[in-house]
Amino acid sequence: MAPFLLVNPMAAKADFGFEITARMGGRTGGGGRAGVISTPHGLIETPAFVPVGTAAAVKGVTPEQMAGLGAQALLANAYHLYLRPGAEVVEAAGGLGAFMNWPGPTFTDSGGFQVLSLGAGFKKVLAMDTAGLADDQVIAKRSERLAKVDDDGVTFRSHLDGSSHRFTPEISMRVQHRLGADIIFAFDECTTLMNTRAYQERSVARTQAWAERCLVEHARLTEARVGRPPQALFGVVQGAQFEDLRRLAAAGLAHLTWDGAGFDGYGIGGALEKENLAAIVGWVCSELPESKPRHLLGISEIDDLFAAVEAGGDTFDCVAPSRSARHGAVYSPDGRYNVTRARFARDFGPLDPDCDCYTCLGYSRAYLHHLLRARELLGYTLATIHNERFIVRLVAAMRQAIESGGQAAFGRLRDDFLTRYFAP
């Protein structure tokens, strides 16, 4: 295996920017594209998958290993780092990248999803089963409501010790400025698909008002960031499964400015019906400026990535590759499978014969089966390296297809890959 690369060799230092280098159809506006995001800590070639290190760490994997498997950027969670170790500790270390010894680009989300998770107990909103349900007080089974939303912000109790805290758009901006990531997100309200249409309307209006407050506070904090790298602020588009609300939210953010400056990019988040993912991304992207990047929050399933890239998404993040790995679920071109099953106990082949990752080049399914069944921590590390490499490499292949052959090449890659991946 090649030595680990601590940084992308093409990662030149720069202020924030975005350049489109290829489009699927060779036309302006709409559809999938390839590009380059410039940040103070390097370049991100898009489309790109951004692995999640929730608490400033991808569980069980070092930053050097993440660079070695091809990750161009990492995303951490503002809510979790605010609670532990505290944004002031990360700031004192020199910012998120320095704190975790990651020299490349970094993202932090706003904590908006944690409002949903704490408030209603749901850990996943994509493909949520909502048949016949509409309830603005919905809460997951066996969950306790730990957050309350109002028009000014959110009051919540820590999942660590039950202590009470308050997040507003201004507080989220202050926390994320102290964390120092290259790309940060405006504070938003993430709803569930079970919320009523009336509530979704109120939530979109609330998120729009919060976005404006984030722009104002971001401008104030940026002016005070003497001697520190600038940060890019992304607005977050909500609106659940409703086309008019998604378009309204996207257009509202696209036209929102403060002191002549708007958002540097846009996140697409919230409740999504899996079968409507491509349509929703398409609605949103058609309302957003072509010249700015779009990040999909919480997306990593294979078919969803193809759909989102083709509809115009640029970057994606999700905890699923690492979380699945810790439970023994690993990716392969022939579908995802669980290596802890008995049939792999004496299988001495690699997790994926087509994979070039550190794990597949040196370790067998039998060994991973043993480690994970024995709950050895090395098993979590090796499985995570493979899963993250699989997704990073796949999205890189999408980028290469767009650059080399546009829509036709991307379509061939999509059809060939999905046919094999989902074969019975």
Res 193: pLDDT? 85
Res 9: pLDDT? 37
**15 assigned to active site:** no
**317 assigned to active site:** yes
Least confident piece of the model among 2-11, 63-72, 166-175, 314-323: 2-11
Burial group, residue 343, by CB count within 10 angstroms (0-12, 13-18, 19+): exposed
Res 138: pLDDT? 54
At 131, the pLDDT band (50, 70, 90 cuts) reads very low
The amino acid occupying position 104 is G
Crossing angle for the helix pair 277-287 and 243-254, to the nearest 10 degrees:
30
**CA–CA distance from 346 to each of 270, 325, 336, 384 (Å)?**
43, 20, 19, 21
| Average of per-residue pLDDT values in the chain | 90
Residue 127 has pLDDT above 80, yes or no: no
pTM (predicted TM-score): 0.92
How large a percentage of the chain has pLDDT more than 70?
Answer: 88
Res 90: pLDDT? 98
Residue 238 has pLDDT above 50, yes or no: yes
Do residues 377 and 370 touch, judged by C-beta distance below 8 A?
no
pLDDT digits (tens, 9 = 90+) for 15-32: 899 999 999 986 545 689
Burial group, residue 43, by CB count within 10 angstroms (0-12, 13-18, 19+): buried
Res 42: pLDDT? 97
**CA–CA distance from 141 to each of 122, 138, 156, 271, 290 (Å)?**
9, 9, 19, 18, 41
Residue 129 has pLDDT above 50, yes or no: no
- Least Cα distance to 253 among 284, 208, 214 occurs for 208
Do residues 67 and 100 touch, judged by C-beta distance below 8 A?
no
For residues 146 and 411, the model is more confident at: 411
Do residues 50 and 71 touch, judged by C-beta distance below 8 A?
yes
Q: Among the options 129, 317, 352, 415, which is catalytic?
A: 317
Q: Which residue blocks in 87-192 are alpha helix, DSSP H? A: 87-92, 96-100, 112-120, 169-179
pLDDT digits (tens, 9 = 90+) for 373-423: 999 999 999 999 999 999 999 999 999 999 999 999 999 999 999 999 999
For CATH 3.20.20.105, the residue range(s) in the chain are 27-318
Report the distance separating Cα 75 and Cα 109, nearest Å.
Answer: 7
Note the CATH number of domain 27-318. 3.20.20.105
**CA–CA distance from 295 to each of 104, 155, 204, 285 (Å)?**
18, 27, 18, 11
Using left for φ > 0, alpha for ψ between -120 and 50, and beta otherwise, residue 26 falls in left
Least confident piece of the model among 42-56, 134-148, 210-224, 294-308: 134-148
CA 372 to chain centre: 26
Name the token pair of 333: 């071109």
Report the distance separating Cα 14 and Cα 41, nearest Å.
Answer: 7
Report the distance separating Cα 387 and Cα 320, nearest Å.
Answer: 9
CA 201 to chain centre: 25
For residues 157 and 358, the model is more confident at: 358
Crossing angle for the helix pair 243-254 and 197-223, to the nearest 10 degrees:
20
CA 143 to chain centre: 25
At 273, the pLDDT band (50, 70, 90 cuts) reads confident
Least confident piece of the model among 65-69, 136-140, 349-353, 399-403: 136-140
CA 219 to chain centre: 24
Residue 195 has pLDDT above 90, yes or no: no
Q: Which SS3 state, helix, strand or coil, does residue 56 take?
A: coil
Residue owning tokens 């994926």:
352
Res 283: pLDDT? 97
**Mean pLDDT for the stretch of residues 83-109:** 98
**CA–CA distance from 394 to each of 49, 142, 253, 301, 372 (Å)?**
9, 37, 31, 11, 25
Task: Find all residues with CB under 8 Å of 131, minimum gap 6, and list them.
Answer: none
**Mean pLDDT for the stretch of residues 295-324:** 97
Q: Among the options 15, 109, 303, 416, which is catalytic?
A: 109
